[in-house]
Structure 1
Amino acid sequence: MARKSRKNIEAVSDMIYGQPFYNVGAYIRLSVEDNKKKGDSLETQKSILQSYIALTPGLKLHDYYIDNGSTGTNFERPAFQRMLADAENGVINCIIVKDLSRFGRNAIDTGYYIEKYLPSLKVRFISVNDGFDTDSVNPGDGIMLPLKNMINEAYSLDIGRKIKAQQRQSMKEGEFVGARPPYGYLKSPENCHKLIIDEETAPVVHQIFQWAYDRVGLNDIVRRLNEAGIPTPSHIKKATGLISHENLIGKNAWQTRTVSRILSCETYTGDLVQGKTKTVCHQQTYADESNWIKVENTHEAIISREMFDAVQAFRRQVAEEAIRTPKSPYTPNLFKGKIYCGHCGGSLHRQRCERKRGPDVYLFHCLSNSRIARGSCFPYTLPEEELLSSLLTIIQKHADAVIGKAIRLQKNKPALEATRAAIKSRLAALRQELDRDRRLTKSLYESLVTGIITGDEYRQMRADYEERISNKINLAQELERRQKELEAQVTEYIALSDLIGSVKGKENITAVLIDRLIGKIKVFSDRRIEVTFTFESGFERLSEAERYLRELLAPAEGRMRA
C-alpha cells in the first residue's frame, strides 16, 4: 500500500479543520399554507439540518428555533427574535436553515438580514438546499440570492392574495370565516362556517342588551355581571380550548370595553357582518365601511333588530352629549402605570374634582367597588397633593443611604480597574488556550489517517476537544458580558444617586423622575403608602455581579498561584 503524502494529509486536514468553531442555531419555520407540503414539515426540516451539521466539521448545534404557523412575510416571530437575541449576545455565531424561504419571504428584509445584519455580528449563514454559505460565497450568489428572495416573496404574496380572495367569497356566501365565534355562539359541529346558539352564554348576551335597552350605564352593567359571578368571554374560551395564551385571557372580571364590544356586534341580530378589519404593514386595522360584507339571516338571532337599533341610538346619544359638554384638559398624570391598590392590586383611578374657585383637586381611588362588585375592596380616596408630600418624605429618607453607597462605589474605582485588568488577562489566556485546542483538534485527523488512533478514538477525542472549545468560548463571552453589565450598573447607580439627591421639594417630582426612580406605589385604605424603588436592588445586583465575576476568574488565579 502506497504511503500517504503528508502534504496531502495536511491539505485535507486544513480543508476540514482550518475554520472557526461555530455554535449553530438551527432555524425552522412552518406557515399555515405550508402545512400540507411534506417536504417542508417540521420533522423534515429538522432531519435535513441535523444531517448537515453532523457531516460538517466545526459545526456544533446549540439549539433549534422553531416558529410553527408563522408567516415568512414579516420577522416578528417569537423563535426568530429569540435567535437574533442569542446572535447579538454571542450565544450563537452561525444560523442554518433548510432553504431561504424558511428564513423569510420578504425579499428586502431577508436580503438585509443575510447581507448586512448577520455579517455585522460576524454570524455565518447557511441555506442547505440553496447551497448558500456566507463563508464561501460564489460569484453568482450576488445575482441568485436576491432573485431567490424575490421569487419566495412573490410566491407568498400570490398565496396570500388567493387566500384573501377565497375568504371574501366565503363571506359573500354567508359563511363565518373567523377563528373564534362571537360570545353567545358556537361553530356548528357539522359546518365550521355556520354559527349556532350557545345555550350557556346566549342568555347573558340577551341580558346585556336588555339592560342597555333599559338605559343602564356600562359601569353598572359591568358591576352586575361581576356580582352575578358570570365568567368572562375569555375564560369561557379558555375552558373550551379556543384560547390558551395568558395575554388573551386576562382577569376573570368583566370590563366596560368587553360589554361595549358586545353591544356593537351586529352578529347578534342574525346577520353576518365581516371584513371590518384589514392588515396593513402586518398590523390589523379597522377597514372602511365600504369594505364590510353583510349577509342577512345567516344564523339564529339572539336579539331582535329593533332592540339592537334602539341600543345603538341610545349609545350615540350618550356619546354626542359627552362631546357637547365642555371640558377643560386634565393635568398630566405623573403616576400613570405606577400606582396600585394595596388590597386588590388593581390600578388606582385618577379623578378630578372641579372647583369654581381655585385649582381643581385630583384624587386617586380604587374602581373595584364600582366596576367589579360592591364590597370587593375597601372604599378610600387619596388626594394627589397628599401623595406627593408622602412620596417626597419617603424619597428624602432614602436619599442619604443611596448617595452614601454611590460615594463608596466611586471610591472603589481602583478595585473595579483591577477587575477589568484581570478580565483582560483571562481573556488573553483563553484565546491562547483556544488556539492550542484548535491546533490539537486539527491534528486529530492526521492521526486518524496515519493509523495512530482508531475511528472510535478519533470521534471521542474530537467530541472532547469540541466540548472544551465550546466551554471556553462560552466562558469568554460570559466574562465580557458580565463586565459590561457591571460597568453599566455602576454608571446607572451613580446617575440614580445624583437624581435622587436633586429632589428638594414637590416641584422636583416629575414624570421622568418617577419613571426612573419608582417601580411601583401601593396605597392602602388607611392612607399608608408603600414604594418600591428601582435603586433598592441596584446595590445588591452590583455586589452579585462582582461576586460572580470573582467566581469566574477564581480558577485562573488558582492556576497562576500553582
Structure 2
Amino acid sequence: MARTSKRKVRLESQSLQENVSVKTYMAGIYARLSVDNHDGKEISIETQIEMAKEYLKSHTEITLYDCYSDLGATGTNFQRSDFERLMQDVRDGLINCIIVKDFSRFGRNYIETGNFVEKIFPFLGVRFIAITDQYDSIKQADCNEALSMHLKNIANELYARDIAEKVTASKQAKMKQGEYLGSIPPYGFQIEKIDGKRTLVSEPVTSEIVREIFNRYASGETFVSLVKWLYRQKIHRPSDYKKYKTVYQQEGQQLRQWERESIRFLLTNDAYIGNLVQSGKHMKEQITAEHTHEPLVSEEVFYRVWERIEGNIKIQNRRPLRKDTMEDIFRGVLYCGECGHKLSRMVTERKASYKEVKTFVFYSCPNSKRIDEEKCENEQITFLQIQKVILHLLKKEFLLSSTQMKKLMEFNKEAGEKRKEQIQKAQDELQKSVDGADRKISSYYLEYRNGSISQAQFLETKKKLEEKKEQDRQALRDLHTEYSSIDRMVDKQNQFLRTILKYKSCAELNAELVQNLIEKIYVYRGKRVEIIWKWNDEFAKVMGGTDDEK
C-alpha cells in the first residue's frame, strides 16, 4: 500500500477545514440597460447576466438565487421595478449577495450608489460584487481601492448627466422644428413621416368627429348632451378606439360612454388649431411650435369654445358652497353591493318650516348616472337608513354582558401569553438544532479523517445538514414575526371589545365606532345592507351572529 505524504495529508485537511468554515451566499444577479443607449456601447442584459454566471463558476461559495434586470431604465435613480424586487428579496432574507457587471449597471448616482455600497448593504449583511471593477465588499479594502470606487461612481454620474443634456437638447431642437415626439397622437390625428420628420396629419374619420364635437359645444350643447350624442352614434371613446382599432362599435365590442373630462381635455387641446405643445422627460419647460400641422378647427371656433369653458368655470367658482358641517363617518367603508364602486356622498338642505332648515345626507353609486352597459341600477340610501341598520345589528349581534366582555378581554390576553410561551419553546428547540448542525458537521469530518466514512459521504451529509440548518433558520424568522404580532393582535381584538362596551347602548353612530368595528359596508338594491366586521374567524366564532341585514 502506497504511503501518503504528511504534507499532502496536511494540505487536504486544511482544504476540508476551509470547506467546513467558509460562509455560503445566496446571490442575486442584477443587470440594467439604459434608455440612453444610442451608441450601442452598453452591453446587453443577457451578456451582463452571462458574465455574472461565469464569475460564479469560480466562486463555489456563492449559489445563484435569481436574476433581476431592468431594460430601458435610467441609472440616475433607483425607482426601477426589478431593482425594487431585488431589494425586497434582500429584506426578506432570501439573498445576501448582489453581483453586477460594474458600478454603472447598479447606478449612476454617486451619492445613492455609495450609500448602498458603504452603508445599507453592510447593515443588511449583503456582499456586493462589481466584476469588471474588481470590487468585492468582503475583501479588506485599502484607501486606494475605496478612492477608486468613489472616482468610478463620480464618473458614472457625470456620464449620465452629459447624456441626459445631449438627449434633451436633441429633443428640444426636433420639437422646435415641429416634429412630433409623442408615441400616441391626439384623437383625430395620425402620425406620418414627411421629409424625414414625424408629423401629425388628420385622420379622415376621427377628425370629422372632433370638428362635430367643437361645433356642437360652440352652439350651446353641454358635456352631458355630448356624452349622450356620442353614445347614440356608437362612437368608441379614445381609449377603446386605440384598443379595437375601429372608430364605431362593431359586433362583439363593448361600447362605453365618453367621460366628461375626456371631452373637456379634447376641447382645450390647441393641437386642433395647428399648435404643437410638447414636453420631454427631462424638460424643465414646454416647447411650443406654432402651426406645424394642418388645423382641424378654426381659431374662431376654438376660442369661442375656450371662452365658454372658462366662463362655466368662473360661474362654478362663484357658487356658494353647500353647508356640510356633518362628519363623514362612513368615509372609506361604504361600497355599492351591485357593482363594487365606492358610494358618493351628497348633502342637501330642505326647509322643514318657515324658520327651520334641515340637512339631509344620502349616498348613491356614481355608476347609476351612466348610460352605457356599466350603468348601475342601485338606488340612493340615506345616512339615517344606514345608521338604523347598523345600530340594530349592534344590539342584535353583541348580546354579551359587560362582565362577559371583560372576561373575554382577559382571556384574549392570557391566550396571547400562552401562545408566546409556545413560540419561545419552539424557538429554543430550533436554535439548538441550528447550533448543533455545526457540531455534527465537525463530528462527521473527524469520522472522515479517521477513515470511517468516505469523502463523498462526508460532503453529502454536510450538504443535508446545511440545508436543514437553513430550514430551521427560516422557521425561526417566521416564529419571530408571529411572536412580535401577537401583542398587536390582542390589542386590536380588545380595542374592538372596548368599543362595543363603550357604545353598546348608543343612539347614534360616530366615526370611532365605525372605524374600529367595521371593515366594509355593502349597499344593495332594496336598501339591503351587508356589513363586514373587523374580527378574524376565530373571534367571530366566540362572538357569533350574522353579517347582513335586510
How far apart in 1 are the matches of 2:79 and 2:507?
Answer: 43
> What is aligned with 1:213?
218
Residue 500 (structure 2) pairs with residue 497 (structure 1): no
In the alignment, which of 166, 180, 183 is matched to residue 179 of structure 1? 183
Counterpart in the other structure of 2:69 = 66
Per-residue deviation, 1:522? 1.8
Partner AA of 1:358 in structure 2: V
> Equivalents in 2 of 1:65, 1:520: separation in Å?
38
What's the CA shift for 1:215? 3.0
Pairwise CA RMSD: 3.8
Residue 169 of structure 1, CA deviation: 0.8
What's the CA shift string for 1:77-117, capped at 9, x where partnerless?
A: 22222222222222222222222222222222222222222
C-alpha change, 1:374 and 1:420, in structure 2 (3 Å) is closer
Distance change (3 Å), C-alpha of 1:393 and 1:39: same
**In the TM superposition, what is the alpha-carbon distance from 1:274 to its structure 2 partner?**
1.5
- CA displacement at 1:168 relative to structure 2: 0.9
Among residues 223, 235, 248, which one is paired with 2:240 in the alignment? 235
Q: Please, which of 418, 421, 426 is the counterpart of residue 424 of structure 2?
A: 421
**Structure 1 pair 57–375 and aligned structure 2 pair: CA distance change class (3 A):** closer
SS of the equivalent of 2:23 reads coil
CA positional deviation for 1:482 = 4.1
2:391 maps to 392
Per-residue deviation at 1:71? 1.5
Relative to the length of structure 2, the TM-score reads: 0.81
Q: Is 1:314 the equivalent of 2:317?
A: no
SS at the partner of 1:529?
Answer: strand
Q: 1:176-214 CA distances to partner (integer Å, 9 max, x unpaired)?
A: 111322233232267672223334543443343233223
1:239 deviation in Å?
A: 4.5
Q: Which residue does 2:252 correspond to in 1?
A: none
1:263 aligns with 2:267: yes
Separation in structure 1 between the aligned mates of residue 523 and residue 147 of structure 2, nearest angstrom = 64
- Counterpart CA distance in 2 for 1:199 and 1:318 is 32
| Cα distance between partner residues in 2 of 1:528 and 1:210 | 46
Q: Give the length in aligned residue pairs.
A: 517
Query: Deviation at 1:529?
Result: 1.4
SS across alignment from 1:532:
strand
Post-superposition shift, 1:163?
A: 1.1
Matched residue type, 2:492: E
Q: What residue in structure 2 maps to residue 545 of structure 1?
A: none
SS of equivalent to 1:66? strand
Number of the residue aligned with 2:380: 381
Residues 197 and 336 from structure 1, CA distance in 2 versus in 1: closer, same or farther, beyond 3 angstroms? Answer: farther
| Mapped partners of 1:73, 1:26: distance in 2 | 19
Does residue 154 in structure 1 map to residue 154 in structure 2?
Answer: no
SS of 2:535 mapped into structure 1: coil
Matched, 1:132 2:135: yes
Aligned to 1:342: 337
Are residue 323 (structure 1) and residue 317 (structure 2) matched? yes
State the Cα distance separating 1:374 from its structure 2 match.
9.4
Structure 1 letter corresponding to 2:529: I
Aligned 1:248-259 pairs, distance under 5 A: 253-259=257-263
Deviates more, 1:161-170 or 1:79-88: 79-88
Question: Are the counterparts in 2 of residues 389 and 506 from structure 1 also a CA contact under 8 Å?
Answer: no
Q: 2:392 and 2:272 mapped to 1: Cα distance? A: 55
Map of 1:554 onto structure 2: none
Which residue does 2:347 correspond to in 1? Answer: 352
Partner residue, 1:293 = 287
Are the structure 2 counterparts of residues 444 and 9 from structure 1 closer, same or farther at C-alpha, using a change threshold of 3 Å? farther
On the 8 A contact 1:25/1:83 being kept in 2, the answer is yes
Q: Return the alpha-carbon distance in structure 1 between the equivalents of residues 507 and 225 of structure 2.
A: 38
SS at match of 1:354: strand
Shift of residue 272 of structure 1? Answer: 1.0
Secondary structure at the counterpart of residue 526 of structure 1? helix
Does the residue aligned with 2:375 lie in a helix, a strand or coil? coil
Q: Which has the higher mean CA deviation after the structures are superposed, 152-161 or 211-220?
A: 211-220
Q: 1:52 aligns with which of 51, 55, 62?
A: 55
Could you tell me how far apart the structure 2 residues matched to 1:479 and 1:444 are? 35
For 1:539 and 1:66, the matched residues in 2 are separated by 45
Q: How far did residue 538 of structure 1 move? A: 7.4
**Against the structure 1 CA distance between its residues 61 and 387, is the aligned structure 2 distance closer, same or farther, given a 3 Å change threshold?**
same
Change (3 A) 1:106 1:39: closer
How far the C-alpha of 1:307 sits from its partner, in A, is 1.9
* Bigger-Rg structure (1/2): 2
The residue type paired with residue 298 of structure 2 is S
The equivalent residue for 2:103 is: 100
The aligned amino acid for 1:104 is G
Secondary structure of 2:217's match?
A: helix
Equivalent pairs: percent with the same residue?
28
Structure 2 unaligned residues grouped into runs of 5+: 246-254, 543-550
| Cα distance, 1:148–1:343 mapped onto 2, change above 3 Å | same
Deviates more, 1:210-219 or 1:394-403: 394-403
Tell me the alpha carbon deviations over residues 458-496 of structure 1, each in whole angstroms, 9 at most, x when there is no partner.
987776566445444433333433444555434433333
TM-score by length of 1: 0.79
Q: What CA distance in whole angstroms lies between the structure 1 residues aligned with 2:186 and 2:152?
A: 42
Superposed CA deviations along residues 36-60 of structure 1, whole A, max 9, x for unmatched, are 5465311011112212233213222
Deviation per residue, 1:375-427 (Å, 9 max, x gap) = 93326222223323333333454445896875543342353033222322233
> What residue number does 2:524 align with?
524
Structure 1 window deviating more from structure 2 (142-151 vs 328-337): it is 328-337
SS in 1 for 2:36: coil
Tell whether the 8 Å contact from 2:434 to 2:469 is kept in structure 1 after alignment: no
Match of residue 198, structure 1, among 203, 228, 233: 203
- Does 1:79 pair with 2:71? no
Distance 1:444 1:163 in 2: 67
Equivalent residues of 2:334, 2:520 under 8 A apart: yes
Q: Match of 2:475?
A: 475
Shift in Å, 1:312: 0.7
305-314 vs 47-56, greater mean Cα deviation: 47-56
Deviates more, 1:424-433 or 1:388-397: 388-397
C-alpha distance in 1 between matches for 2:434 and 2:99 = 26
For residue 273 of structure 1, give the secondary structure of its aligned residue in structure 2: strand
Structure 1 position 435, deviation (Å):
2.3
Change over 3 Å in CA distance of 1:430–1:232 after alignment to 2: farther
Q: Which amino acid aligns with 1:169?
A: A
Which residue, out of 278, 298, 302, partners 1:304? 298
CA contact (8 A) 1:13 1:446 kept: no
- For residues 57 and 102 of structure 2, what CA distance do their matches in structure 1 show? 18
2:422 maps to a residue whose letter is: T
Q: Is the 8 A contact 2:28 2:65 kept in 1?
A: yes
> Any unmatched runs of 5+ in structure 1?
241-250, 281-286, 543-562
Distance between the aligned counterparts of 1:31 and 1:224, measured in 2? 47
Q: Which moved more, 1:220-229 or 1:81-90?
A: 220-229
Residue equivalent to 2:547: none
Name the SS for the 2:328 alignment partner. coil
Q: Which secondary structure does the structure 1 equivalent of 2:98 belong to?
A: strand
Partners of 1:259 and 1:313 lie apart in 2 by 15
Provide the rounded CA distance (Å) in 2 between the counterparts of 1:149 and 1:367. 53
